[in-house]
Amino acid sequence: MTERKRTPWVVGVSGASGTPYAAAVLRGLLAAGESVDLVVSRASRLTLLDETGIAFRDAHWRDDLGEWLQRGADGKPGTFARPALDDVRYWGAGDLAAGPSSGSYPAKGMLIVPASTACVAGVALGLSKDLLQRVASVTLKERRRLVVAVRETPLNGQTLKALVALDEAGAVVLPASPAFYAGATHIQDLVDFVAGRVLDAAGVPHRLYRRWEGELGGSRTPRGANGGD
């Protein structure tokens, strides 16, 4: 039997507020049976520590990632079951010789969740100052799918120009903007909506949010009714 070739999605986590978005995307990818290569920027470690209390360590990344993915958007531990991490690879942000830094490394594409304005500017300019930006540049040059979930408000002119440049380069610019038609009743629902839209842009199946079906008031129907989720 031929062994399945591993072709992961690279998930980059930048220093913007919104680490619950990244966690939800990672859970969604793993639930869909996708392979994941993870890059956590240095700045995002501070955000993760502030938003969750988790100190993400290179030497203990598997334990720290497992704890992170078990937390809900409200920071409560044990909200989710610990997912299997057998098909997750972690690359240090300073490792510019990492596999995904080369276009010859097989990958489906890259999801930057959340994307800070500094990250957006760096990728738009092709700076490659760390592994996250380098992988994004590789993704664009190889014409693979790049989804940039920018998380900032308001946006100034320089950032808007950078986002237009990314769009013109072929990236999907996806602001972390939750919608309310899906019947959100908890902060996790809003986070899952954004994560679901990221996965939609990547073509990864999921059941993270209720899709619009053209029926007004549908968001008030309890999930599970009428054969729904």
DSSP annotation string for the chain:
-PPPPP-PEEEEE-SSS-HHHHHHHHHHHHHTT--EEEEE-HHHHHHHHHHH-----GGGHHHHHHHHHTS-TT--TTSSPPPP-TTEEEEETT-TTSGGGSTTS--SEEEEEEE-HHHHHHHHHT---SHHHHHHHHHHHTT-EEEEEE--SS--HHHHHHHHHHHHTT-EE------STT---SHHHHHHHHHHHHHHHHT----SSPPP-S-TTGGGSPTTGGG--
| Residue 221 confidence (pLDDT) | 63
Integer angstrom CA distances of residue 47 from 40, 122, 147:
11, 19, 21
At residue 28, φ and ψ (nearest 5 deg) are -65, -40
- In the structure encoding, which two tokens stand for residue 221, read together? 């129907």
pLDDT band per the 50, 70, 90 thresholds, residue 217:
confident
| pLDDT tens track for 130-159 | 999 999 999 999 999 999 999 999 999 999
Would you say residue 226 has pLDDT above 70? no
Q: Which residues contact 68 (CB under 8 A, 6 or more apart)?
A: 19, 23, 48, 52, 54, 56
| pLDDT tens track for 18-76 | 999 999 999 999 999 999 999 999 999 999 999 999 999 999 999 999 999 999 999 99
Handedness of CA 201, 204, 209, 211 (dihedral sign): positive
SS (H, E, C) 95-160: CCCCHHHCCCCCCCEEEEEEECHHHHHHHHHCCCCCHHHHHHHHHHHCCCEEEEEECCCCCCHHHH
Global confidence as pTM: 0.93
**Cross-strand pairs, 88:** 36
| Residue 213 confidence (pLDDT) | 81
